[in-house]
Amino acid sequence: MGSTGIPEPLEYSTISIDGLKVTFLGLVETNGKENATIPSTHPVKVQNLTFQRPENVVSQYSNLKEQEDSDLYIALTHLGHDGWEGELGDYQLARQFPYFDLIIGGHSHQRIDATINNIPIFQAGSYLNFLGKIELSIEDERVSSIDFKLINLNTRVEFDPEIQAVIDEYNDLPYLKEVIGYSHSLHERNMVGCFYTDAMRGVMNTDVTFQNPGGVRSSLDEGDITNREIFEISPFNNGTIIFDMSASEIKTFLKGSGSGFYYSGIQIIQTDSEIQILDLDGNVLPDQTMLTVGINDYIPAVYEEYFPESGNTQPLTAAETLISYLVNINSQVNYPNCDHYFRYQ
């Protein structure tokens, strides 16, 4: 784990219930940054923590079921259900490391009920919409029958009163209920991406802004906009930063990152393998043209090789920037059409 003072978690745990022993092995993806071994999170927030690739360690626990004398061996993962380009997902785990009686996964936000290499694999979606319930029959330390169902939490009416009281206290904070703008229609996430980058550009006063789609976590309903909705859209407390970059450097970033981004302030066109950057009037910007680029600080932390060594750190977080835009510049959100998204193909 490194020298952070954070206690290292157990790699596995065995529990006993009514004479039945169940062993869980925990595995997390480490695809958060090229040329680094960290989960998909802000690199700054895991500084000095050491991780290992799951495919490099899982074979060390091939005999864990026998070692623990368990009736059931479960991989509890945050890998995603299906890896790509050599990454390990639950499907690959079942094919390459068939030690488990079942795999319960997450990360890819899917509803999964599959069997790969005779190993059941389950995932219960995302955003607490569903709770997965697995019922097993065990005979001679093997699963003889299995039933998986999803419980729709949106239709449940029973609540733990103590937990509900904590939730209600938070939700009742006056600041979260404060109305700061108006949305003229339902804005799906791609439309929110246009609002997001326009708002950042307006507050940060830059030529260009970019936003990663994974950092836009919610749609925006029609009607009054509250602070709560902005924090639902941008919940990560990421900072904001401004860089001076040439048009050529921006092209290199867009090509090299391999990721897609919402953007504002320019037009981006790809013809064959070439990228053109144009101003809002349609004029092609020469490669040497210098532009101010406003961005949340997660993006340059992940793709640091494409950004200058230093930038101008801003006083507002990404969410605070959106709120400032609505309060001080433009309270109206109206993006019926949005095509400000680019991913190099």
Interval 263-296: pLDDT, tens: 999 999 999 999 999 999 999 999 999 999 999 9
Concatenating the DSSP letter of every residue in 135-156 gives: EEEEETTEEEEEEEEEEEGGG-
Q: What is the pLDDT of residue 42?
A: 85
| pTM, to two decimals | 0.80
**Domain-by-domain residue ranges, the chain?**
12-155, 171-343
CATH topology assigned to domain 171-343: 5'-nucleotidase;  domain 2 (3.90.780)
What is the C-alpha separation between 149 and 118, in angstroms, rounded? 19
Does residue 3 sit in helix, strand or coil? coil
Task: Give CA separation, 246 vs 201, 254, 313, in Å.
Answer: 17, 13, 19
CB 65 within 8 A of CB 22: no
Q: Please tell me the CATH code under which domain 12-155 is placed.
A: 3.60.21.10
Asked if pLDDT for residue 1 goes beyond 60, the answer is: no
Residue 256 confidence (pLDDT) above 60:
yes
Please tell me the distance from the alpha carbon of residue 300 to that of residue 236, in angstroms, as a whole number: 15
Instruction: Report pLDDT for 337.
Output: 87
75 — pLDDT class (breaks 50, 70, 90): very high
